[in-house]
Each structure stands twice: as structure tokens, then as C-alpha cells.
Copies of this chain bind each other. A is one copy, B any other.
Amino acid sequence: MPELIEQESVDEKQLLEESVDYFVSFVQMFGLQKSVGQIYGMLFVTEEPVTMDRIISVLGISKGSASQGLALLKSLGAVTSHSIEGDRREYFEADLNVSRIVTHFFEERLTPRLSHGDQKLERMLRLADVEGKGSSPIMGRLQALKKWQNRGLSLIPRLLKWL
């Protein structure tokens, strides 16, 4: 009974597929590409570290996607890599690091947008004020919106602490 690395039981194949599916769906909630979810899904159910060419052949994705996806996952702390003596290739494995992924999402996607929105809202308040009518219905809406925005902004650090 040869122990080739290519050998996988039916169950292992199913598990791989489920995992890939699961994480594709997961990362898409956070606006990341499908390929990132595929890679993480594969690594998540693979015990031994794997090389990039293995990822490419198992998932059927391109070298470019694999390289970029792995780079992103490494930057998230969701994947680690190391090299092996006498082998030029890198070996990748999953790190179960849900909070890092979610934190990255907040800090890279949400917070910049919110602070950009903050500036916009200040400008709108100034414009609406210059209009003369300091207590126009529009002014009231803008002030209410500002309250909401501050509420949202204050939620983020609390969420990150909770993670």
C-alpha cells in the first residue's frame, strides 16, 4: 500500500470541497476574492504544509492567483510559510486566525471609508450652514446623520476588543 501524497480518500475529497466552499463564502462576506477562500479552505483541511504548485494543481487556479492569494493570507496572519532544507519551494499552512481576518476587514475596508465619510459630512454641514437657514430640515437631517455616524464609529473599537 504505497503512501503517495496524491492519494486521498473519498471522504477527504469531500471534506476538501466542503471546506473550500465554506471559506469561499466566508471571505466573500468580507469582499475578498473567491481564490483567497479556495486557498484557505484547502489549507484549513490539510494537515501537512503544502507547496504553491500543489495548491495550483489541486484547486486548478493560476500561478498569479495563488501567489497573490497566499500573499494576502500571509499579510492577514491566516497562513504561515517556511522553507525546508534542500528545497527551494516554500511550504504553506493555515493558521486559524479568525480575529485577524475580521480585524483586517475593519481596518482596511471599513475604517478608511468611515473616516472619509466623516470629512464629507463635515463639509456638508458647513455647506448647509452657509445657506443661511441654520435650522432647516436639511440641517436637522445632517445633524441626525452625524449622530449615527459617531455611533457607528464608536462601535468599531468595541467590536475589535470583543474579538
Q: Give chain A's interface residues, CB within 8 Å of chain B.
A: 9, 11-12, 14-15, 18-19, 21-22, 25-26, 29, 44-45, 47, 94, 96, 98, 109-110, 113, 116-117, 120-121, 123-124, 127-128, 130-131, 136-138, 141, 144-145, 148, 155, 162
- Across the interface, which residues of B come within 8 angstroms of A19, CB to CB? 124
Q: Do B127 and A25 touch across chains, with their CB atoms under 8 A apart? A: no
Q: Do B145 and A98 touch across chains, with their CB atoms under 8 A apart? A: yes
Q: Give complex CA distance A116, B58 in Å.
A: 25
- Tell me whether A96 and B18 are in contact in the complex, defined as CB-CB below 8 angstroms, given that A25-B113, A113-B25, A138-B45 are known contacts: no
Q: Do B96 and A144 touch across chains, with their CB atoms under 8 A apart? A: yes
- Across the interface, which residues of B come within 8 angstroms of A12, CB to CB? 131
Q: Name 16 A/B residue pairs within 8 A (Cβ), A-sorted.
A: A11-B127, A11-B131, A18-B123, A19-B124, A25-B113, A25-B116, A25-B117, A26-B117, A29-B109, A29-B110, A45-B124, A45-B128, A45-B141, A94-B141, A96-B141, A96-B145
Q: Do B138 and A47 touch across chains, with their CB atoms under 8 A apart? A: yes
| A84 CB → nearest B CB, Å | 19
Q: Do B15 and A117 touch across chains, with their CB atoms under 8 A apart? A: no
